[in-house]
Structure 1
């Protein structure tokens, strides 16, 4: 069993998951879908991780599939 320094545990506990409103998530997803920008470029412009933006885009497309 590995021993983890206490100060590392405390620092890891201080990291919190960012929360974004549904409106913001949709705005970001629409930039990819409606403006045909790449996920990577949109993520970079907002300082987000591309995987996160990709998840939001997938959710947006699924929710709006009937509108097509």
Structure 2
């Protein structure tokens, strides 16, 4: 659920902190606390980021150009 930052992976925490312009270094607990503080101060509950795998995450949709290749232009 949104706002349950403790369940997020460290990479997800860092990605979301970078998105809001917050520092991404520190322990996992510090990263979680930083996001919780952001939510308390702004009232904005952040959604879990979608991270792409190193090998081009198989679950990700293909790029738009690949989807359009069969459509005559």
Give the structure-1-normalised TM-score: 0.32
Greater relative CO, 1 or 2 (CA 8 Å, sep 6+): 2
| Larger helix share, 1 or 2 | 1
